[in-house]
Amino acid sequence: MAAVAVTSAPLDLQALIDEVGGTSTADGAVASFIGLVREQNQGRRVSFLEYEAYEPLAVRALQLITEEARASWADTRIAVHHRIGRLELGEASIIIVAASPHRAHAFAACRYTIERVKQIVPIWKHEHFEGGDVWLEGATANPDDEAAREAARRIACA
């Protein structure tokens, strides 16, 4: 699988680590973020989630995000895979891996990537809970919104 992917297959952390070059001797750190399906959301008992994507644009948006991250942390290599379809409680919906000579860059690139995913990647959660279902809606996606990009950078460097 490529460094950036949207897939209905279960996600594999090791595959992402391999994508960023494994544990190269030039690297001092590999940071990872794994997003999981949680059993509670806004007071509701979640049964399962269904993720839907506009796949070609989602892949482009993920590529844009990794390019943005590399512009800020040039020595960092990033892989990000997002799962779609039906996910059960406890399953991984997204994995991000960043490798760098410096741990601060690896952590920052990871955090920046997840914040930007939530801002601009056309993927949606359909939450099925005890008693109903609801489409979750977060940010209006706008990759040109400088304020949103700066907010993600601030969080990443906090």
Q: CB-wise, 27 or 81, nearer to another protein? A: 81
How many other C-beta atoms can be found within 10 angstroms of the C-beta atom of residue 140? 9
Alpha-carbon distance 79 to 3, whole Å? 4
Instruction: State yes or no: residue 122 binds another protein (CB under 8 A).
Output: yes
Instruction: State yes or no: residue 48 binds another protein (CB under 8 A).
Output: no
Instruction: State yes or no: residue 137 binds another protein (CB under 8 A).
Output: yes
- Per the CB < 8 A criterion, the answer to whether 105 and 82 are in contact is no
Look at residue 22 and give its three-state secondary structure.
coil
Site string for another protein, 74-113 (x = CB under 8 A): --------x----------xx-------------------
How many other C-beta atoms can be found within 10 angstroms of the C-beta atom of residue 84? 18
Q: Given the rule CB under 8 A, which residues bind another protein?
A: 35, 51-54, 56-58, 60, 82, 93-94, 114, 117-126, 135-144
